A and B are shown apart, each in its own frame.
Chain A
């Protein structure tokens, strides 16, 4: 009989990821406050620093959290196969990267491109860290007999991350910077696929958790699951062009992306088709916190996929591109889908069982719902702001940019307040998880 390795290195990754999520939330709220209190922090920590601090912290949360979930899952699937020394070195390198990068932002040392604004030399450390992950996971996969769809997804995500991350740094060679439009096309090709690669890691974890919770092992091996996986991979590879519909690049980029993005209707149709079945299952398992988060992520997939489908039609994209609708989509997917799945996984792996914030306590249920509601208000407000800006950019633009922004003041206030409430809800949930981690590993509590 298989037993789970009691020492789970994955849980250490998860704890570091959760701390990064707290940082990301705080920096995000501080950055958003600039919308209603212009330049309140200009002289000590400006928006120029706060935005990359927020974005990088959240990306570290996603990447380290997803790595931790993969390790924790393998700890159950193939106990004792993880090379813990290699994984410890990987985690150490992540922590070193975080220190270097956040320190460089605090000192206004930039040099990178959007989402990776840190000085490019630190990318080498991240790539090295990822290579350690690849070595460890390939070893485990080779020794794992059965390969359900989530193992394919993890392998794909890990491989494509290093590929697209490297592609994202081709601009370091002057040859790739000679043509502005071509350079931007490649930048967004890499960025778009890179997001798809961590989605593979996270959705794979979701598949694993559903299998574990429902105790139904057949779905992750079914042909339908693999068809969905290949459709996701197809979109990862070819559906990045909607970011650059207005860029004067080769027109086939637009056509390819428009056509490929329409295959996402299949995902939407599947969600609608299986909704009744999922709802019945949810009624049975909703008390179980990991499942609760996974079910919430399904709802957010539906909302964001619907928004993505609208944005993928070039004629509508003219109204949404460069507006807060794009931000709504980014926030909806990173918080509503990625964070929701990762939190569900954290509850499954860390199992907070006692205390005020135990798994299923009234207080935790309250913060679960406040998280969902504040996120919805946050998301809708961004869409409204985006629509207003979209109408301005497609109108006669009689108002200047600053005048248009001042008409959004009411929405900015709702955006900042809901963002703050969202942060509070999430921090309470994270503390309950960290409590559990510290109790399990060090016999003490954070609160």
Chain B
């Protein structure tokens, strides 16, 4: 009898959790318009995972800390597709060289194009409000 409030509260939280999850899964808001991944870009993400690029590099600040964030690397001045492929092939002091197949190279570049199109990862692209909340500039 005395456990009723606990069961009631637990059930309430569960319902809230599943509703929130449903809203997130079904969301199709305008902010997602530019983040559609073509089939090639989707394959490119699997290349990113296959070579564990996330152990050193970040996307939107999430990932490793040894290398730079690569969300928008494709649109950085002077760092075009050829530059990126050259780095992947030759490596650097810390980065090993990766021997990607031609298809993997194309797919990875498509993936980086799609991450770039999805938005800006630079935290300076936000304004802070007095409430502590942030908004896009």
A434 and B62 alpha carbons, distance in the complex (Å): 36
| A-B contacts at CB below 8 angstroms, number | 165
Knowing A113-B49, A179-B35, say if A324 contacts B65 (CB, 8 Å): yes
A318 and B61 alpha carbons, distance in the complex (Å): 10
- Which A residues touch B54, using CB under 8 A? 113-114, 117
Knowing A315-B129, A315-B133, say if A111 contacts B46 (CB, 8 Å): yes
Whether B94 lies near A313 (C-beta < 8 A) is: no
Known A-B contacts: A110-B52, A184-B59. Give 15 more (CB < 8 A).
Answer: A48-B55, A51-B55, A110-B50, A110-B51, A113-B54, A117-B49, A147-B3, A178-B37, A182-B32, A238-B20, A247-B119, A315-B134, A321-B123, A327-B65, A401-B67
Knowing A34-B66, A237-B13, say if A394 contacts B42 (CB, 8 Å): no
Whether A180 lies near B16 (C-beta < 8 A) is: no
Knowing A180-B35, A318-B123, say if A48 contacts B62 (CB, 8 Å): no
Whether B132 lies near A315 (C-beta < 8 A) is: yes
- Which A residues touch B32, using CB under 8 A? 179, 181-182
- Determine, out of A66-74, A252-260, A365-373, the stretch whose residues face the partner at the interface: A252-260
Q: Which residues in window 116-133 of B have CB below 8 A to A? A: 118-124, 126, 128-129, 132-133
Whether A184 lies near B94 (C-beta < 8 A) is: no
Whether A315 lies near B128 (C-beta < 8 A) is: yes
A250 and B136 alpha carbons, distance in the complex (Å): 12
CB distance from A261 to the nearest CB of B (A): 11
In the complex, A243 has a CB within 8 A of chain B: yes
Q: Which residues in window 312-331 of A have CB below 8 A to B? A: 313-319, 321-324, 327
A110 and B56 alpha carbons, distance in the complex (Å): 14
CB distance from A156 to the nearest CB of B (A): 8
Knowing A46-B96, A255-B133, A322-B69, say if A177 contacts B35 (CB, 8 Å): no
- Which A residues touch B42, using CB under 8 A? 174, 177-178
- Which B residues touch A113, using CB under 8 A? 49, 54
Cβ-neighbour of B60 out of A152, A246, A250 (below 8 A): A246
How many residues of B sit at the interface, in one of the four size bands? 35 or more
Q: Which residues in window 1-47 of B have CB below 8 A to A? A: 3, 6, 9-10, 13, 16-17, 20-21, 24-25, 27, 29, 31-32, 35-37, 41-42, 45-46
Q: Tell me the dominant secondary structure on chain A's binding face.
A: helix
CB distance from B129 to the nearest CB of A (A): 7
- Which B residues touch A51, using CB under 8 A? 52, 55-56, 64
CB distance from A86 to the nearest CB of B (A): 26
- Which A residues touch B81, using CB under 8 A? none
Whether B56 lies near A48 (C-beta < 8 A) is: yes
A247 and B71 alpha carbons, distance in the complex (Å): 11
In the complex, A52 has a CB within 8 A of chain B: yes
Q: Which residues in window 41-62 of A have CB below 8 A to B? A: 42, 46-49, 51-52
- Which B residues touch A258, using CB under 8 A? 132-133
- Which A residues touch B55, using CB under 8 A? 47-48, 51-52, 117
